[in-house]
Amino acid sequence: MADTVALTRRLMTLGVDLIDCSSGGLAGSPIPVGQSATYGYQVPYAAALKRETGVLTAAVGLIVHAEQAEAILSRGDADMVALAREMIYNPNWTIDAAQKLGVDPTFAVTRRRTAFWLDRRAATVPGLVPSTFGRAPEGAA
């Protein structure tokens, strides 16, 4: 971390505004031997770098839930979250997150035509639970 702080300070003088804080795994696993990856396992790197240098940071590392991402930002652990494999798994993550956080009831984050059909489905199907919210409700066929 000391090397990262020193490099970041140098990069800031050259105009770098944001550091994506990933341990990368370029020289083996970024996870210490005997440990396993947990939700947000690399977020402490972003928080520490931000605290030590004042640079804007992006957090990564098993950030998969909307509430989790929002908590990272709200706590000030990072200024941005970056999603990789989760976006591959769920390409509609942004729409899903906006719905779960209650910030986009009209599906404004998507194209107008798509928003129309999503809004219509939500308004006309009583008890609809989107697939990304978990298992289907009891009795759903």
- The rounded Cα 75 to chain-centroid distance in angstroms is 14
Q: Using 50, 70 and 90 to split pLDDT, how confident is the model at 140?
A: very low
Annotate 29-60 with b (16+ C-beta within 10 A) or e (fewer): eeeeeeeeeeebbbbebbbbbbeebebbbebb
- Cα 63 from Cα 93, distance rounded (Å): 11
Q: What is the per-residue pLDDT for 39?
A: 87
Q: What residues contact 121, with CB distance under 8 A and at least 6 apart? A: 128
CATH 3.40.50 residue ranges of the chain are 1-89
Q: What is the per-residue pLDDT for 62?
A: 87
Whether the per-residue pLDDT at 36 is higher than 80: the answer is no
Tell me the fold of 1-89: Rossmann fold (3.40.50)
Helix, coil or strand: residue 104: coil
Whether the per-residue pLDDT at 28 is higher than 70: the answer is no
